[in-house]
Chain A
Amino acid sequence: MAGLHIKNAFVIDPLSGVKGEIMDISIRDGKIVEDAPPGAEIIDAAGCLTLPGGIDSHSHVCGTKVNFGRYMSPEDMRAGRTARKGVMHVTSGYSVPTTFGNSYRYSTMGYTTILEGAMAPLEARHTHEEFTATPHQDMLANTLFDGNWSIMEAVKEKDDKRAAAVVAWTLSAVKGFAIKLTNPGGTEAWGWGEDMSSIHDQVPNFGVTPAEIISTMIRANELLHLPHSVHLHCNNLGVPGNYRTTLETIDLVPDLNKDRQSLYLTHAQFHSYGGTTWRDICSKSEEIARAVNNKPQVVMDMGQILFGRTTTMTADGPMEFKLYMLHHNKWSNHDVELETGSGIIPVYYGRKSLVNCVMWSIGLELALLTKNPWQCLLSTDSPNGAPFVKYPEIIALLMSRKFRDSERKMIDPRTEHLVPLFALDREMDWYEIAVMTRAAQAKALGITRIGKGQLSPGAEADVAIYPLRPDEIDPSADYQQVMAGFSRTLFTIKRGRVVARDGVVVVEGANSTIWTKANVPPAYDMGADPEFTRKFEQYYTVRMSNYPVQDVYLPRGVRIETEASL
């Protein structure tokens, strides 16, 4: 493969310490190199903003629940229709688009790596199949362990090593990337018809609390030396007054890893509500941001909502039921045997709804109040807060106070009494945006070791060139231009190949799926553990030998191996 030479690029590469310099980037064989090979194709970036390929550290794009969102919302498929054109497949859908729709839209926004936020282990095959149909991004799958019976039994016995061994076996069986806990214990309790209101309540039939599950899993994660930390969706999502649960959870986190955080709090916006009911909801973003500022071992993502129509989908079944009781619209609920559950409903976030306006403000406040941009990443928990195609709007809101003030005139006027947003002057700069959309994600996910999120020689050649000249644009005034620029790259380069140009996808794409395998000593190999095997055969409706995802489901798997200290 001949190389590629990008000249006159305005590069921001936080992980390599480049904070905005005009420089050249050379690419050869899918890697960044010092000098371009002879005969390399030359791209003139002409001073345009050039960043490492975007990384979404929490998004729902593939898997059974996304697909169920598609079944449930045929009306969603009326939007976003594009015809087949060149190498592009037909696409349709807005909040739950087709897999190719997801892939092309991410690609034209400069995103090259996506983490699927929640994969039920039992349904992993389908997720991997959809990964191969999302051809422009490297995919990672967070694997759900929140209601895993073997894990809860290990937690009850206070056996961190056994919990770690179950995680190691499951991750390598289903080709997952990291541990995801969604409302730990709560989804399982919901399966028994009960609800939990605090992280110190006991899960029925198991005698463990969510706090114990979280603490054990954080320690087990570090015993296995997994690249990513525990990825936690806190308990009590979307419940007014839930910020206390979130603060209690943040207090649980030890500092166990010097390279990255020990806990990743996802969609923090949904977990920062004050008040007692929907009538007196208010923002507690200041408390949450203060707690995170004081705890460098915690990283969160915004979970911003944006006004409009979308579909919520989560493994948090009970919370979706509560939302259903508010809306009385379509609702789906699903139980995954011995593992987890899920729920899906379509929603509309309106500017006329005070609750929605408060939610909208909280997400932005979290980002603006967190001092260190490496600790608050940009996300919408797509599509729960808004479809990912609206990321540019969030970037513009963070970069421009003027834009926030113009939005203020459009939303419910009571909002400003309940939120601190409009008192915040902070306007983010290009560097901070680069951190919040790729570098911090790469660091938090621990994939810098395989060359993600950076442009230094040896790194993966994932590059996004946006039609924005940082020396000419004042983002606080020209926010419309910022939004347009981030929506559509001049060039998106994936593994050294131009995959999208000016919003048009130009190649078929061939992604890889990144998964982790923690090597454990034979004594901790759950595949040979008589107790684990007996329970598996007794309780699951599938045989243990049929459970692992075969390699054929990962045509281009990338395995990250770690040596567990068990």
Chain B
Amino acid sequence: MRVVLKTRPRVKPKIPIEAEEIIPQNFLRKNDMKVFEGNKERALDDLFFVTVEGPAVSPDQVEVILTGDTGVVKRVGEYMNAGRIIVEGDIGMHCGNFMSAGEIIIRGNADAWLGREMRGGRILCEGDAGHYCAAGYRGEKRGMRGGTIEVKGNTGDFTAEYLSGGEVLIHGSTGDLPGVEMRGGTLWIGGGCSRPCGNMTGGTCMVFGEVKSMLPTFIRSGLQDMEFQGEKHQMRVYLGDVANRGKGTLLTRN
């Protein structure tokens, strides 16, 4: 089944839409999906032109395509556990919260909190992602626990904060403090970053660009050769963060 959701023109197009019900499994079961526009509850039909093509017997066979002015649509794919969502443009905050399986492909940019506390599945963002990409949420000590997130562009600050499992691959640069409080999983950063991996206790982070303001609480422990996107790099290996008895590994380009 292919579901196409195209945003309808709105009088006030900047009011955010909270659409946690937009997940593939809901299109099999539910007829009366609700979304919030600001603090007003609306039917899905009020805000989107909905086109459904073809049958499906399981959520795996459902593909949801979002087009139009989707940059203000938040929480798409929250608790998603099967199927696929393709966003033709940008997507708002909290896309793929807690998702456990399935796939989200974003052709444009993603706003903050992309794939927060994700459990499994795959997210591909072809543009940039905002702050807190693949992070945990306020107060939660375990962030993303499984699955993969790939961002072709850059990301903001606190990328992969509290990462505790799964794989995060950023082709571009990240902002400040990527991998802070990491406790597991793998973080690849193709470009540069600043102050990576503060307070990390586990996991592996690799930075192939320039690292600004390297934290002093990491111990040098040799060199290692690695390959990233077809290029060979010699990497410095650091262990830490020793300030918190951490046993993580941080690799930066020599």
Cα A329 to Cα B139 with chains together (Å): 11
Which of A75, A78, A329 gathers most chain B CB within 10 Å?
A75
Q: 12 A–B contact pairs at CB < 8 A?
A: A72-B139, A73-B139, A74-B137, A74-B138, A74-B139, A75-B137, A75-B138, A75-B139, A75-B140, A76-B139, A78-B137, A329-B141
CB distance from A346 to the nearest CB of B (A): 9
CB distance from B88 to the nearest CB of A (A): 31
Of chain A, the residue at the smallest CB distance from B245 is A328
Of chain B, the residue at the smallest CB distance from A71 is B139
**Chain B interface: which size bin?**
under 10
CB under 8 Å from chain A, chain B span 139-191 = 139-141
Interface on A for B, CB 8 Å cutoff? Answer: 72-76, 78, 329
Cα A71 to Cα B113 with chains together (Å): 21
List of A residues within 8 angstroms of B137 by Cβ = 74-75, 78
Cα A168 to Cα B140 with chains together (Å): 44
CB under 8 Å from chain A, chain B span 117-151 = 137-141
CB distance from A410 to the nearest CB of B (A): 24
Of chain B, the residue at the smallest CB distance from A72 is B139
List of A residues within 8 angstroms of B141 by Cβ = 329
CB distance from B181 to the nearest CB of A (A): 12
CB distance from A202 to the nearest CB of B (A): 36
CB under 8 Å from chain A, chain B span 11-50 = none
A-B contact count (CB 8 A): 12
Cα A62 to Cα B186 with chains together (Å): 43
CB distance from B78 to the nearest CB of A (A): 12
Q: A72-B139, A75-B138, A76-B139 are in contact. List 9 more A-B contacts (CB 8 A).
A: A73-B139, A74-B137, A74-B138, A74-B139, A75-B137, A75-B139, A75-B140, A78-B137, A329-B141
List of B residues within 8 angstroms of A78 by Cβ = 137
CB distance from B190 to the nearest CB of A (A): 32
List of B residues within 8 angstroms of A329 by Cβ = 141
CB distance from B143 to the nearest CB of A (A): 11
CB distance from B247 to the nearest CB of A (A): 14
Interface on B for A, CB 8 Å cutoff? Answer: 137-141
* Majority SS at the chain B contact face: loop
List of B residues within 8 angstroms of A76 by Cβ = 139
Of chain B, the residue at the smallest CB distance from A76 is B139
Of chain A, the residue at the smallest CB distance from B140 is A75
CB distance from A487 to the nearest CB of B (A): 26
Which of B138, B139, B140 gathers most chain A CB within 10 Å?
B139
List of B residues within 8 angstroms of A74 by Cβ = 137-139
Of chain A, the residue at the smallest CB distance from B201 is A328
Closest 9 CB pairs of A and B: A75-B139, A74-B139, A74-B138, A75-B140, A73-B139, A329-B141, A75-B138, A75-B137, A76-B139
Cα A329 to Cα B140 with chains together (Å): 11
Of chain A, the residue at the smallest CB distance from B136 is A75
Cα A76 to Cα B139 with chains together (Å): 8
List of B residues within 8 angstroms of A73 by Cβ = 139
CB distance from B242 to the nearest CB of A (A): 15
CB distance from A223 to the nearest CB of B (A): 47
Cα A329 to Cα B183 with chains together (Å): 13
Of chain A, the residue at the smallest CB distance from B141 is A329
Of chain B, the residue at the smallest CB distance from A329 is B141
Cα A329 to Cα B138 with chains together (Å): 14
Of chain A, the residue at the smallest CB distance from B138 is A74
List of B residues within 8 angstroms of A72 by Cβ = 139
List of A residues within 8 angstroms of B139 by Cβ = 72-76
Cα A78 to Cα B137 with chains together (Å): 10
Cα A72 to Cα B139 with chains together (Å): 7
CB distance from A105 to the nearest CB of B (A): 21
Cα A74 to Cα B137 with chains together (Å): 9
List of A residues within 8 angstroms of B140 by Cβ = 75
CB distance from B136 to the nearest CB of A (A): 9
CB distance from A87 to the nearest CB of B (A): 19
CB distance from B162 to the nearest CB of A (A): 11
List of A residues within 8 angstroms of B138 by Cβ = 74-75
Cα A75 to Cα B139 with chains together (Å): 5
CB distance from A478 to the nearest CB of B (A): 34
Cα A121 to Cα B140 with chains together (Å): 33
CB distance from A310 to the nearest CB of B (A): 14
Of chain B, the residue at the smallest CB distance from A75 is B139
CB distance from B73 to the nearest CB of A (A): 21
CB distance from B61 to the nearest CB of A (A): 31
Cα A74 to Cα B141 with chains together (Å): 11
Cα A329 to Cα B137 with chains together (Å): 16
Cα A72 to Cα B140 with chains together (Å): 10
CB distance from A332 to the nearest CB of B (A): 13
Cα A75 to Cα B141 with chains together (Å): 9
Cα A74 to Cα B139 with chains together (Å): 5
